[in-house]
Amino acid sequence: MLKVHHLNQSRSQRVLWALEELKLPYEIVHYQREKTMLAPDALKKVHPLGKSPVLDDNGLIIAESGAILEYLEEYYDPTHQLQPQDKEQKLKYRFWLHYAEGSLMPLLLMKLIFGRLGKPPVPFGLRTLGNALGQGVQKAYLNKQIETHARFIEAELAHTPWFAGENLSMADVQMSFPVFALLSRGGIDNLPNLKAWKTRVEMRPAWQTAIEKGGPFTLPGE
């Protein structure tokens, strides 16, 4: 039996969504974020990094969302419902699968962290300095980078409804976390294609069932 170690409000929403799209039976082991937003130590007993998601396939432990989605695709999607077979589309599929965590998420995580340097748990006496530093880094570097990425993704989605073509694929599943984060905290306006893609995602019954089972997905932070 497949078992998902699922942290609330986290990247493991992607794995639940993929499993629902593939109509596979699975169990969820729920973990709640600590006040710090970190995962509880119990997750380190499942995998040394203590991050979510982790998939357990009859004792085979798989961490890292992209690796989990590729695993599900390879062993649990015999008809390739979630992977294009055309060469060009497959190249796009692979690009987005890597890009989501390799390029886009680090920028969004940095924005989250630098945006919090003026707030608790930073000690009171350091918050003014922290805030100035955080805002400075965002202004001088991060915001421009995020804008470039947002415009790139927006332009890509002008051609097709889904990231790797006409059909939903694991590329969309993997991109869901960063795109939702980008729209909620990226600070970039005028992204109609991204917003329309998000609406298409939210309308999918499999997405909705994943939320019913895993809990709300509103991205308050890491």
Ligand X SMILES: N[C@@H](CCC(=O)N[C@@H](CS)C(=O)NCC(=O)O)C(=O)O
Interface residue list for ligand X (CB under 6 A): 7, 10-11, 38-39, 50-53, 64-65, 101, 222
For ligand X, the closer of residues 7 and 150 by Cβ is: 7
- Show contacts of 26-35: CB within 8 Å, 24+ apart: 26/1, 26/2, 27/1, 27/2, 27/3, 28/3, 28/4, 28/213, 28/214, 29/3, 29/4, 29/5, 30/6, 30/214, 30/215, 31/5, 31/6, 31/7, 32/7, 32/8, 33/7, 33/8, 33/9
For the CB of residue 193, give the shortest distance to ligand X in the complex, in Å.
Answer: 24
For ligand X, the closer of residues 53 and 84 by Cβ is: 53
- Whose CA is closest to 68, among 174, 139, 191, 154? 174
For the CB of residue 36, give the shortest distance to ligand X in the complex, in Å.
Answer: 8
For ligand X, the closer of residues 57 and 161 by Cβ is: 57
For the CB of residue 63, give the shortest distance to ligand X in the complex, in Å.
Answer: 6
CA angle at residue 221 from 155 to 66, to 5 degrees?
Answer: 60
Helix axes 105-114, 127-137, angle to 10 degrees: 150
For the CB of residue 124, give the shortest distance to ligand X in the complex, in Å.
Answer: 25
For ligand X, the closer of residues 7 and 22 by Cβ is: 7
For ligand X, the closer of residues 161 and 221 by Cβ is: 221
For the CB of residue 85, give the shortest distance to ligand X in the complex, in Å.
Answer: 25
DSSP 162-187: BTTBSS--HHHHHHHHHHHHHHHHS-
For the CB of residue 182, give the shortest distance to ligand X in the complex, in Å.
Answer: 14
For ligand X, the closer of residues 34 and 88 by Cβ is: 34
